[in-house]
Structures are given as C-alpha cells and as structure tokens.
Amino acid sequence: MWTLLWLFIFQRESNNGVYFAGMFRIANFEFIPEYRHTDSTEFLSMATKIANVVNDVYRKSPVSKLYQQSVISDISTNNKGGLLVHFWMVFVVTSMNSHSLCEECVGAILRDSVHTSLLNRSSVGFLLSLPVDIDSIVVNAALRSEYTGTDAKCVDDLYAGRPGTRLPLHVSVPQGGLLCHVKLSTTPGYLARLTIASFAIEPTACVSSSLTVYDSLIPLRTKVLYKVCDPVNSASNFSLVSTGNVMFLSFSLGQGSKMFIGYFEAITEKSCSSALITLGQSASEGVITSPHHPSFFPPQCDCTWEFQTPDGSLGVALTFHNYMLTEKGLRGCEHGWWRINEVIYCGDYVDHHTVFRVAHPRTEIEFRCSSKFSDPPLSAEYRSYNISEPCADGHFLCSTGLCVSAERRCDGVDDCLDESDEVYCSKPPCDGFAQQHPDYACNGVRDCEDGSDEANCTQEVPCTPISYRCRNGKCIRKRNAECDGVPDCADKSDESHCACGRPAPVRARVVGGSEAQEGEWPWQVSMHFAGTFYCGASVIAADWLLSAAHCFSRDRLSDPQQWKAHLGMRSQGTAKFVVGIRRIVVHEFYSARNFDYDIALLQLSSPWPLALSSHIQPICLPPSSQAVPAGHNCWVTGWGSKAEEDKDLPQILQKAEVQVISQTVCKGRYSPVSPRMLCAGVMTGERDACRGDSGGPLSCREPSGGHWFLTGIVSWGAGCGRPNLPGVYTRVSKFAAWIREHIP
Ligand code: 4AZ
C-alpha cells in the first residue's frame, strides 16, 4: 500500500517536486520488531501518527503553501534507544518561489518546532506530542531519483539478526544501466558490517558506476559511510561498519556487465577503549586499534587508552604502520583527532611507519574518528621506552621517531623516511666517499674535480630507490639515465620511451616571468572548473594529465564533470583542444593540512588528436631514481598571478626560470617539508609560482639529451615571490610507481 501511495505522490509531483530526506530520533518509545515490516499494522499506525505530526508542523510553517506531504519510510532504533524515524518530504514549487526552500531552512523548521525544556538538560524536547532528540534531526536535500522504490530497478532488504551468520549479497547485472537499493539491518543493539569481496566496475570516479554505503536506511548525503568508485578484488577487499544497526546500499551500475560479491553480518559493538594498561619493559607489549579493526572505522567514534609505565624514567612509544601524528594547527583533523596528555594532534596516513613517544610514565590518549567517510583500519604497537635514551646506543633519533644506526646519518639514503638523517650534512671529501655517496655519485653533476664521482656509472648494481632500473630488471648507478641520449642499459631500454618532453622548435627560445612563446610548453594545460580557470596541469600521455591533489580535493572540485582541460594554449581562450575529464585520481594519502602527497591524475574524456602534436606534447616523467641537484635550473609556467597582491590573471602563459633548492635549505625555511616535496625559486624572491599556477609543471631539461622532465608540480609556498621563501613543488620522481599503477 505504501509503495502504491508513493508512486501516486511522486508521479503527480513530477517536474517541480523538491525532495528532502531526513531522520530523527523519538526518545522514550519502545522499538518493536514489527516496525521492521512496513506493511505491518504496527508500522502503519506508528508511521501515520508520526507523519501527522510532521504534516502539522510544516502546514503551519512559512513554507506551508509549498509543502505537500511527508512519508515515513522506515522506523529503526539505535544504541540510544527510542525510534529512529526515516522520512521523505515532498514540496511543490514554481520557479517564482523555489528559493524559499533551502536545505537549512527546511531542517530549521523541524528543529525550531522542538520545544526543549530549559530545566531538562537533555537534548530531548517535544515536537508537538512526540519526544524528539533535537541533536538527531537531519534533513538533506535529495534527488527524486534517490527515492527507494521509485527509480530503483532492483531492491532488496536483508536482515542479519544476531552475530554468527553471514548473509551473502550478490548483485549481478549483465547489461548494467541499473540502480539497486539494498537495506541492511540487524537486531537492535548490534552493528551492521558489510564486506566488499569484489566489485567489478570500470573505474570512472563514480560517474558511471558506484556503490554508496549509508549509515541510515535512506540515502542521506550527510550519512554516507563510504563511496566505492574503483573496482575491488580479492587483494583490495575490505569491510565497513555502521554506527547503528542499519545500512543502506545504493548501487549505480552503468552500461556493461557489472558484478558485486560481498556479505553482510551483525557484529557485537565492542568498546575500543581499554582499562589502564600497565607496561613492563619488554619490546612490544600489545596493540591498540581503531574501532572494529581490521574493518574500516566509521566517521564517528571515541576511544580512550591509559598507560602506566613502571617508573618515571620510562615513557610510552606507539609504533604506527602507515600513520603519522602531528600537532594540530588551525585546520581540523581529517583522519583522526588525538588528545595525548592534553596536547591535540591530527593523524594522517603516510606510506611508512612512524614512532610516537610520550615522555611521561602515565599517559592518557583519546582518539576520535574525524573523517568525512570511513577510514582504513589503524593499529599501533605500544611498549615502554627509556625517556633519557629513546634510541639504543649508536643510533640516531629521526623526526619520524624511528631509530636508525648512527652510521646511516648523512649517507645519502633517506633511512628516517622523512630525510631527517640527511639534512645538515657536509659534503664528503672526494677521496673515495663521494664516489659512492648517492647525493654526488652518478647524479649528472661533476662534484669532484677529477670527475671520479661520475665514473663507472653504467655499472650494474643491486636495485635500490636511487639506482636506475632498466626494463630488463637490471639496475645501473646512473640516476638520470632515462632519455639522456646515451643508451646506458644493456637492453637500451633507457632510450626506448622518449617520445616526450620535446617542444616544437620555437623562434626564441608566474612572478617575475615573461611571456611564453607559442608551442614552447606543449604539455602545459589550463584546468577550468565550472567554466573558470582554476589550476594548471601537464600532459603526460594521450589521455592523462598530472596535476596537484589540492586542486581537486574538496567537495565539488572532486566532480570530474565540472572540469574542462584546455590543451595546446598560449593565450587564455584560444586552446587548440578543449576536453572534459573522465576521472580524477587524487592520491589516497593527500593531506590538506600539510599538502603532503599533493598529486592527482586526470583522465581525459577523449585523447588529444595526434594531428595537434605540434601544439600538444607529453612531458617526460622522471624515474624514481631521478636526481635533481641543488642549483639546477628549471622553469615554472602558468597563468597564475604575476604578483602576490594581483587580482587579475595574465592572458598569456608566463614562464619563469627558478633554481632547485637543497632539501636542507628548504627545510630550514618551511616546516614540515616531506621527502615528497621539493623547493625551487630564487632566494631574492624575484621569480616564483603563485595563485593559479598550482597543479602546473616545474619543467627541468635533461642537459645531455635535451628532453624536458616533469620534475615538480606547483603545490604551495608562503605568499609569492617573497625573499627566502621559495615555491614548494610535489617531487614527481617519488610517484613514478604510483603513476604506473594507475595508468595502464
Ligand atoms: C597557490 O595559491 C600558490 N609561491 C601556488 C604557489 C605558491 C604560492 C601559492 C608558491 O596556488
């Protein structure tokens, strides 16, 4: 009956219907199992009662003329007790009065109608006759197509009862072009866990196919637990856990065969906190983990742990696998909020482990989930450590908290994983050491007078991150062997993929720059968001661009459909090729707090035509071994501001020559500078990148072969063109493997 009623309502309100989805909790009402069945008399009677209250509220509100109907779609419960009411609201507007229906306004009507008693300090008040928790009210604008039972071609409703049974969930469509809605629920008091074992879709950044998992029974935008846009297989499978006993899955399956395999189960809610942990003196004493480990953890949680060491000389050390804590600044924490003995830290995912030490015998740690969506599982091993000597004898304490052998300090290898063992190092003498030292040997610069540091560079060596890997898997010492015009590898593979970084010959030949010539930087791209110039990017393949993650990471900016790439352009508005974006791949560890991992791949909707190759060319990608010695001259290009205070942007592409600055100097100017960043500029500040240049290239020419390499991506800096504050770029060589993983 309800389905019929819905169809009737929605068909009548076809074009000018405005829809909202919402949720609130009614306190003090007992949930009964019959409410799970929307055709039961118990559900119908309760739903009618609630709908009447909501109708009364809106029919007496300023938007009463537009208000049509509320439909209660589900009644569930959560660990706070009472009833969780899920509802839809329908308004009918004309173009004249549609502006009065903003999301906040519609939600505010409900919130303002709950009369809370000033005496009672709880958040429960009265919505007419119903005791409603004012903090639980959520109202989101919705699309008509989001309605359950309207456009969804396949719907399912699974009930897992109690822990111990896994319900298989298979969605298989031979042709695609389908919307599927699945409601999952468990007995009140348990949580819902969905395991995604495999999901066979094309990766299209959720444009054609996706699975959105909600922490509610209807698709509420602010209750999204996770969005799956990429295929999942046995190597990448994962589980998500709800905060209550329900989940809602919305599958959007584009054209072509699609398949989802997973299962759903009820799990017991376990506290992530623990009683006081008393530490001894052994190496590893245990682990603390995020809630529901090894499942992903939801956007809301709160865990506390307390540690006590045997005496005042011992503190607590936490070893994280791919996570790092840094003191919180002005920005919020995107991947975990931590309070450790009254100091607040934010956590970020990184690609290496770190050790966090608390120099106190008693430590209280509070961890709050603070991400927008569910985050990957976290764990930290804990043990006690000697406060006066955190590292064993003969070891060096890195800023990452790791301890490395003192001999490794200044050996040219980033043993600390944040380069803290490789700064403030003096140049080794040329009597043997420099010949082997990675900062000097075979980096293309003659550092020793006799040239011994650049001798025997095609010698085969065991593979390391700083040796050049030939396609036959053998490694050689010459770091910049790629496309330097000399076949160095036995299989000559270092010269076999060099159709890049070659601008058409130009006749001649940012802050403090000059105008570029036509065709001089054929890899330069102008990225336009919703029709307006926003960032730069570089052509790296027929249908791929590389840019900065920060240009694409916020809500609307992550929607590929809002973007256009302008290729083969010197003067704004005269692009030889304008194309849409099919997919944006932002690095999974990008941090908006410190701009680490500031890199994004953009796939074009269609490749640029080869006929335009005199205007459009890819730039060469540096191999992971690429050495960029300090002092090397490179060029930054873009349509960004010509001065920090400029409001207008230049029409013509600007170019400026800047010097690569040593990591030691760079770290002396800014904090923190990660190994994935590189500074370039001139210390007088005359030439620099600025607002709008972001995402664009720092192009460096390989001196012997003449090919241009994408050594950096414009990322950040303090202002523009300020003396002693160079521009900071993403160090592209660190992402060679990541790029290869994503581009076929
Ligand atoms: C920006 O806002 C920006 N001086 C880019 C580069 C620099 C500063 C700001 C470096 O896009």
Helix (H) or strand (E) holding 17: strand 17-26
pLDDT number for residue 116: 67
Question: Which has more confidence, 639 or 62?
Answer: 639
Out of 553, 639, 714, 715, mutate this one to test ligand 1's pocket (max ligand atoms within 8 Å of CB): namely 714
Nearest Cα residue to atom 1 of ligand 1: 691
> Angle at Cα 623 formed by Cα 621 and Cα 625, nearest 5°?
150
Question: Which has more confidence, 115 or 667?
Answer: 667
Q: pLDDT per residue over 214-227, tens digit each?
A: 999 999 999 999 99
Q: pLDDT per residue over 257-291, tens digit each?
A: 889 999 999 999 999 999 999 998 777 789 999 99
- With bands split at pLDDT 50, 70 and 90, how would you rate the model's confidence at 293? very high
Nearest atom in ligand 1 to the alpha carbon of residue 550 is 11
Instruction: State the distance from the centre of ligand 1 to the C-alpha of 692, rounded, in angstroms.
Output: 7
Percent above pLDDT 90 for the chain:
75
Q: pLDDT per residue over 192-214, tens digit each?
A: 999 999 999 988 778 789 999 99
Instruction: State the distance from the centre of ligand 1 to the C-alpha of 727, rounded, in angstroms.
Output: 7
pLDDT number for residue 432: 66
User: d(Cα 706, Cα 708) in Å, to the nearest integer?
Assistant: 7
* 345-349, 367-371, 440-444, 588-592: segment of lowest average pLDDT: 440-444
Beta-ladder partners of 324: 348
pLDDT number for residue 547: 98
Contact status, residue 40 vs residue 48, Cβ threshold 8 Å: no
pLDDT number for residue 147: 64
Instruction: Tell me: pLDDT of 96 over 90.
Output: no
Which of the following is catalytic: 73, 371, 624, 694?
694
pLDDT number for residue 428: 84
Average pLDDT over residues 373-381: 97
Q: Does 135 qualify as catalytic in the annotation?
A: no
pLDDT number for residue 71: 94
Average pLDDT over residues 626-630: 93
User: d(Cα 459, Cα 440) in Å, to the nearest integer?
Assistant: 16
pLDDT number for residue 708: 97
- With bands split at pLDDT 50, 70 and 90, how would you rate the model's confidence at 595? very high
Q: pLDDT per residue over 153-181, tens digit each?
A: 678 889 998 899 999 999 888 787 778 88
Nearest Cα residue to atom 11 of ligand 1: 691
Q: Classify each residue of 345-366 as buried b or exposed e, where b means 16 or more C-beta atoms within 10 Å of its C-beta.
A: bbbbbbebbbbbbbebbebebb
Q: Does 352 qualify as catalytic in the annotation?
A: no
- φ/ψ bin of 483: left (φ > 0), alpha (ψ from -120 to 50), beta (otherwise): left
Instruction: Tell me: pLDDT of 610 over 90.
Output: yes
Q: How many CA atoms lie within 13 A of 169 on its CB side?
A: 30
pLDDT number for residue 8: 37
Instruction: State the distance from the centre of ligand 1 to the C-alpha of 695, rounded, in angstroms.
Output: 10
pLDDT number for residue 281: 78
DSSP string covering 620-636, please?
BPPPTT----TT-EEEE
Which of the following is catalytic: 418, 439, 598, 693?
598
Out of 716, 722, 724, 729, mutate this one to test ligand 1's pocket (max ligand atoms within 8 Å of CB): namely 716
Average pLDDT over residues 696-712: 94
Nearest atom in ligand 1 to the alpha carbon of residue 717 is 10
Instruction: Tell me: pLDDT of 661 over 80.
Output: yes
Out of 527, 720, 730, mutate this one to test ligand 1's pocket (max ligand atoms within 8 Å of CB): namely 720
Q: Which residues line ligand 1 (CB under 6 A)?
A: 688-691, 693-694, 714, 716-717, 720, 727
Instruction: State the distance from the centre of ligand 1 to the C-alpha of 602, rounded, in angstroms.
Output: 20
Rg of the Cα atoms in the chain: 29
Instruction: State the distance from the centre of ligand 1 to the C-alpha of 641, rounded, in angstroms.
Output: 9
Which of the following is catalytic: 181, 528, 550, 566?
550
Q: pLDDT per residue over 460-506, tens digit each?
A: 999 988 899 999 999 999 999 999 999 999 999 999 999 999 997 76
Out of 658, 677, 693, mutate this one to test ligand 1's pocket (max ligand atoms within 8 Å of CB): namely 693
Average pLDDT over residues 569-588: 96
Question: Which has more confidence, 273 or 144?
Answer: 273
Q: Classify each residue of 510-544 as buried b or exposed e, where b means 16 or more C-beta atoms within 10 Å of its C-beta.
A: bbbbeebbbbbbbbbbbbbbeeebbbbbbbbbebb
Average pLDDT over residues 689-704: 95
Average pLDDT over residues 121-134: 87
Instruction: Tell me: pLDDT of 433 over 80.
Output: no
Q: Could you tell me the two tokens for 60?
A: 């007496």
Q: Does 694 qualify as catalytic in the annotation?
A: yes
pTM of the entire predicted model: 0.90
Nearest atom in ligand 1 to the alpha carbon of residue 692 is 11
- With bands split at pLDDT 50, 70 and 90, how would you rate the model's confidence at 555? confident
DSSP 3-state percent helix, strand, coil across the chain (nearest 5) = 15, 35, 50
Mean of the per-residue pLDDT values for the chain?
91
Nearest Cα residue to atom 2 of ligand 1: 691
Q: Which residue has the tokens 């060596």?
A: 461
Instruction: State the distance from the centre of ligand 1 to the C-alpha of 673, rounded, in angstroms.
Output: 15
Average pLDDT over residues 101-129: 82
User: d(Cα 413, Cα 422) in Å, to the nearest integer?
Assistant: 7
Q: Could you tell me the two tokens for 404?
A: 């490395």
Instruction: Tell me: pLDDT of 150 over 80.
Output: no
Instruction: Tell me: pLDDT of 254 over 90.
Output: no
Q: Could you tell me the two tokens for 451?
A: 């040239």
Contacts of 365 (CB under 8 A, 6+ apart): 288, 304, 305, 306, 307, 338, 339, 340
